[in-house]
Structure 1
Amino acid sequence: MGRIDYLHDPDAPPANSVVPSVVAFVQNDEDAVLLIQRSDNGRWALPGGGHDVGESISDTVVREVWEETGIKAEVIGISGIYTDPGHVMLYDDGEARQQFSICFRARPIGGEVRTSDETTQVRWVPPADLSTYDIHSTMRLRIEHAMDEARPTPYIG
């Protein structure tokens, strides 16, 4: 399934769904950030996905990180909530989803890096190298907020 992200684009289709979702900012002991290369659009991103019925939101974070990367993670906080109605994601099946994403900070507690059907590559990336990756501006914002540990409260927007 392919995906196109629109950000405040007048050519964006009108949203027809909203799905609560999570992304995980996972940093290891060397401060490297866990990134995935998405199989649906080829861009680099934090691991994450939709919240399922019957799970707590922290269970969603742990499941998505494990499914997409092979890393077992533990949630340690929230860095932001992102609900910009101007960010619409269009999928091949016609779904035009309005953004609703919660970014969590997490730490690795086990596992080994591997890919999945949703990821073509998984890497631990040093913060100094993040600018060299093709990361959508909305995902960069999440990464910047998560890296800013001096921020007194989570971003809400």
Structure 2
Amino acid sequence: MELKWLEYAKKLQSIAQAGITYSKNKYELERFEQIRDISIQILQNYTDIEHAKIRNLFANETGYQTPKIDVRGAIYKDNKILLVKEKNDGRWALPGGWADIDTSLSEAIIKEAKEEAGLVVLPKRIISIFDYKKHAAKPLPYGVYKIFVECELIKGSFKNNIETSESGFFEPESLPPLSLNRNTREQIELCFETRKKQCHEAIFD
């Protein structure tokens, strides 16, 4: 369950962002800026993150606030799934990351698989679309939808890069320590289960 103070801070930020975007009255704009500052102060008081970084990550967008999109590619070989070792925490995850504004879902998956694992893949079907806050242990100051996509491996091999240090294929019972902000054990197990099904309806929430 999401922490109440974080829920309130996110709601205040969302209200402020929409108000700053659509209001034409200078007095209302001033009030919405104050609401945004309050949301930043709440985060600053409950975390160790400095004010400037919170504003950059949490309160730098314009327009109506919507969730960010994180994509993850499930790539298989035999009865194993590909994981990459993240350099920033030393733990393992399905290749993926934030979707760029100018890419489709398939293009984002193809890009991440190439950059993080050195592989050429063909996205086949959506496994699931999860709301991050319902499935992860660490709260974030913004909403995230995580999209898991089953992929066909075409060719390629791992190449050293700025984000990951190695890759490997793992069986479900021998998964390495996972980067839980990126994927949970349950989510990877779902990828294995989906692999066995000829027909699959995407799971969401």
- Are 2:93 and 1:45 equivalent residues in the alignment? yes
Distance 1:152 1:53 in 2: 28
Matches within 5 A, 1:66-145: 66-86=114-134, 87=136, 96-130=141-175, 133-135=176-178, 136=180, 138-145=183-190
- Deviates most, 78-87 or 31-40: 78-87
Larger radius of gyration: 2
What is the one-letter code of the residue matched to 2:93?
A
User: Shift of the alpha carbon at 1:9?
Assistant: 6.3
CA contact (8 A) 2:118 2:157 kept: yes
TM-score where L is the length of structure 2: 0.61
Q: Sequence identity of aligned pairs in percent? A: 22
Q: Indicate if the aligned counterparts of 1:46 and 1:139 stay in contact, CA closer than 8 A.
A: no
2:107 counterpart of 1:59: yes
Q: What per-residue deviation string (whole Å, max 9, x for no partner) do you get for residues 107-140 of structure 1?
A: 210111223211122112233322xx11128422
**8 Å Cα contact 1:43-1:134 kept in structure 2:** yes
Aligned to 2:203: 155
What amino acid sits opposite 1:19 in the alignment?
K
The alpha-carbon deviation at position 142 of structure 1 amounts to 1.9
Which one has a larger percent helix, Structure 1 or Structure 2? 2
Contact 2:74–2:151, Cα closer than 8 Å, also in 1: yes
The Cα of 1:84 is off from its aligned counterpart by: 3.6
Counterpart amino acid of 2:162? D
Pick from 15, 19, 34 the counterpart of residue 82 of structure 2: 34
RMSD: 2.5
CA distance in 2, matches of 1:112, 1:147: 22
Higher relative contact order (CA 8 A, sep 6+): 1
Q: Is this contact kept in 1: 2:123–2:150, CA < 8 A? A: yes
Partners of 1:48 and 1:56 in 2: how far apart? 14
Q: Distance between the aligned counterparts of 2:79 and 2:163, measured in 1?
A: 24
Question: Going by fraction, where is strand more abundant, 1 or 2?
Answer: 1
Q: How far 1:12 moved relative to its partner?
A: 8.5
**CA, structure 1 residues 85+108, in 2 after alignment: closer, same or farther (shift >3 Å)?**
same
Does the CA contact (< 8 Å) of 2:158 and 2:166 recur in 1? no
Q: 1:67 to 1:97 in 2, by over 3 A?
A: farther
Distance apart, 1:55 and its partner CA: 1.2
Gaps of 5+ in 1: 1-7, 91-95
Cα distance, 1:53–1:9 mapped onto 2, change above 3 Å: closer
CA–CA separation in structure 2 for the residues paired with 1:50 and 1:43: 18
CA–CA distance in 1 between the matches of 2:83 and 2:4? 29
